[in-house]
Amino acid sequence: MSLAKPSVDDALSRDRAGRLRQRIYQAMELRVPGDRLGSVTSIVLFTLIALNVAAVLAESVAVLQARYAAAFKIFELVSVSIFSLEYLLRFWVCVEQPGATTERSSWSQRLRYSVTPMALIDLVAVLPFWLATFGLLGTVDMRFIRTLRLARIFKLSRHSDAMTLLLRVLRENGRNFMAALGILLIVMIITASGIHLFEHDAQPVAFGSIPAAMWWAFATLTTVGYGDVTPITTGGKVFGAVITVVSVGIVALPAGILASSFSERLRLKTQSYREMADRAYSDGVLTPLEYAELEQERRKLGLGEDLAAAILDDEQDHAAGEAPCPRCGYRENASPDEAERQAAG
């Protein structure tokens, strides 16, 4: 009997550790509406990231850096300690994510997680500090290390629905963006070659070679037009005018892809909420429990209260028209055939 007790205790310990890991994963990753621990965790991390970005900006001011150097160091130590703990916890609980398979070992799943974009961002946010603390960076300029701390701003994507939506749009349309950038690169090379042909004799410094002319091509195609380099020959001016007109359409390609993808994502969110509201009103009545579920879904999808209220009003009107009259049993929006059958009955 004494041999069985340690195995039972080990099983109970592993079970407790598993429940704890699931709870931490739920609080840090799922961000379920109504989860108080998850809400507090998200608010604390969001605030800490924002304060870190503000501290990096303030520390670049010589007067503030000299006056509050000690405070900046303490704040940096506290921040890095919290971010390091966050990284280790995410590394530990990543095996609980829905996509994790039981076929791989826990450590192989964690290694796969460690090379994901968000995990790398979390690592870059803390690694320079610890490397500098233990003297592993040698004579690297500390201003460069402080600038690397701005990578923490990308951690906001975990706690911002807008940033999450943007990253999802970029990921889903990666090929389209690469195609648009490829077209922009081709047109830029053609533009630099053309202006070099017209201007290389008149302005040998600015347009003496195609690589040198690429600065003008880039500034013109992106419609920035700094004006530090401009064509002076007649052919160069005509060519520049044509390129300026063409650049409007070229630069609009990535913006159009981004805008259409955003609109489609918002449409899908609205449609998902509308379908859920339609199911809730299928019996003609919206119960408090159904309303609470709809409110939870609204927060999850990031829809505004006004839009959600308008959808619920539409569904309520639709349900009122579809529901039979309690006195006569007729439906207000019944089809002619159905009305005839109801009258015959």
Binned at pLDDT 50, 70 and 90, residue 325 comes out as low
Q: 300-305 contacts: CB < 8 A, separation 24 or more? A: 300/32, 300/33, 301/269, 301/272, 301/273, 302/161, 302/165, 302/269, 303/269, 303/270, 303/273
pLDDT mean across residues, the chain = 80
Q: Kindly report, as residue ranges, where domains of CATH 1.20.120.350 are found in the chain.
A: 10-159
Average pLDDT on 258-262 reads 81
pTM value? 0.61
Q: And the tokens for 228?
A: 């530090």
pLDDT tops 60 at residue 30: yes
Rounded percentage of the chain residues whose pLDDT exceeds 70: 81
* Rounded Cα distance, 122 and 86, in Å: 8
| SS3 category, 280 | helix
pLDDT tops 50 at residue 2: no
Q: Any idea which of 160-169, 200-209, 214-223 has the lowest mean pLDDT?
A: 160-169
Q: Which of 3-7, 110-114, 161-165 has the highest mean pLDDT?
A: 110-114
Helix spans in the chain (H): 4-25, 36-59, 62-67, 69-93, 106-114, 117-133, 142-148, 161-172, 174-199, 204-207, 210-221, 234-280, 288-301, 305-322, 336-344
Q: Which of 202-211, 243-252, 261-270 has the highest mean pLDDT?
A: 202-211
The Cα-based distances of 228 to 17, 50, 209, 219, 243 in angstroms read: 64, 37, 17, 10, 17
Residue carrying structure tokens 């979390």: 122
CA 322 to chain CA centroid, nearest Å: 40
Q: Kindly report, as residue ranges, where domains of CATH 1.10.287.70 are found in the chain.
A: 174-262
- Residue 10's pLDDT is 60
- Residue 239's pLDDT is 92
- Residue 192's pLDDT is 92
Binned at pLDDT 50, 70 and 90, residue 1 comes out as very low
Buried b / exposed e along 32-61 (16+ C-beta atoms within 10 A): eeeeeebeebbeebeebbeebbebbeebee
Which CATH code is given to the segment(s) 10-159? 1.20.120.350
* Rounded Cα distance, 97 and 24, in Å: 11
Average pLDDT on 306-314 reads 84
Phi-psi region of 141 (alpha: psi -120 to 50; beta: other; left: phi over 0): beta
Higher pLDDT, 9 or 23: 23
Alpha-carbon dihedral angle through residues 79, 84, 89, 92, given to the nearest 10 degrees: 170
Condensed to tens digits (0 to 9), the pLDDT of residues 61-73 reads 889 988 998 999 9
Does domain 174-262 bear CATH number 1.10.287.70?
A: yes
Phi-psi region of 48 (alpha: psi -120 to 50; beta: other; left: phi over 0): alpha
